[in-house]
Amino acid sequence: MQAAEAEGIMPVFAHEMLREIYEQPEALRRTLALYLSPTGLKPEIARLLAGWSIPEGEVLIAASGSSRHSGLAAEILLEDLCDLAVDVEYASEYSVRGGPEISTQRRPSVLVLSQSGETSDTLAALREAARRGQKTLAITNATDSTMAREAVVSMPLAAGVERAIPATKSFTCQLAVLYLLALYEGSRLGRIDAAALACHIKGLRAEADSIESQLDGWQEQMATLAHKYRSANTFLFLGRGIHYAIAREGALKLKEASYVHAEGYPAGELKHGPNALVSDSVPLVVLATVDRGLPASVVRYERTVHLLADMKEQGARVIALGNAGDAEVEKLVSDFVPVQPADEYLLPISEVVPLQLFSYFMALEHGVDVDRPRNLSKAVVEA
* pLDDT recorded at residue 377: 75
As a whole-number percent, the residues of the chain with pLDDT over 90 amount to 88
Radius of gyration of the chain (CA): 20
Cβ count near 230 (within 10 Å):
14
| Antiparallel, parallel or unpaired: β 40-41 and 234-239 | unpaired
Model confidence pLDDT, tens digit, residues 183-213: 999 999 999 999 999 999 999 999 999 999 9
pLDDT tens digits for range 53-90? 787 789 999 999 999 999 999 999 999 999 999 999 99
**pLDDT at residue 4, rounded to an integer:** 57
Rounded CA separation 311/234 (Å): 16
pTM of structure? 0.94
pLDDT at 383: 35
pLDDT on residue 376: 82
Distance between CA atoms of residues 201 and 145, nearest Å: 28
Opening angle at CA 148, ends 147 and 150, nearest 5:
60
Per-residue pLDDT at 378 exceeds 80 = no
CATH number for the domain formed by residue range(s) 216-365: 3.40.50.10490
Average pLDDT over residues 331-360: 98
Domain ranges of the chain: 2-203, 216-365
3-state secondary structure the chain: CHHHHHCCCCCCCCCHHHHHHHCHHHHHHHHHHHHEECCEECCHHHHHHCCCCCCCCEEEEEECHHHHHHHHHHHHHHHHHHCCEEEEEEHHHHCCCCCCCCCCCCCCEEEEEECCCCCHHHHHHHHHHHHCCCCEEEEECCCCCHHHHHCCEECCCCCCCCCCCCCCHHHHHHHHHHHHHHHHHHHHCCCCCHHHHHHHHHHHHHHHHHHHHHHHHHHHHHHHHHHHCCCCCEEEEEECCCHHHHHHHHHHHHHHHHCCEEEEEEHHHCCCCHHHHCECCECEEEEECCCCCCHHHHHHHHHHHHHHHHHHHHCCCEEEEEECCCHHHHCCCCEEEEECCCCCCCHHHHHHHHHHHHHHHHHHHCCCCCCCCCCCCCCCCCC
What is residue 107's predicted lDDT score, i.e. its pLDDT?
A: 83
Intrachain domains 2-203 and 216-365 with the same fold: yes
CATH class of residue range 2-203: alpha beta
Mean local confidence (pLDDT), 259-272:
97
